[in-house]
Amino acid sequence: MADTETANALPETIEEAKEEAKSFLAQAQEAIGDAVDATVAAVKEHPIAAAGIAAGVAAAVGGAAYAATQLGGDKEAAPAKPKK
């Protein structure tokens, strides 16, 4: 009889989990929307500062990508050309 009770409780647990996940998703979407609205307002208020920050971030990401390509893996040196 305990197996029947467990089987009957399982759908309720799954439904509760679905509802909690939907609630969490709704809260996350609202928080992201608020963050986007605040970012847009800040960029409209300070466009030059926003452009400077964007340029700095782009430079940092570009530098990190370049460094990763240079440091990733051992590269064999090109053979030296014989002098004639």
What local confidence, expressed as pLDDT, does residue 51 receive?
96
What local confidence, expressed as pLDDT, does residue 73 receive?
61
pTM of this structure: 0.52
Spatial separation of the C-alpha atoms in residues 26 and 38, rounded to whole Å:
18
Local mean pLDDT, 10-residue blocks, the chain (84 residues)? 54 82 94 96 96 96 92 66 70
Q: What is the 3-state secondary structure (H, E, C) of the chain?
A: CHHHHHHHHHHHHHHHHHHHHHHHHHHHHHHHHHHHHHHHHHHHHCHHHHHHHHHHHHHHHHHHHHHHHHHCCCCCCCCCCCCC
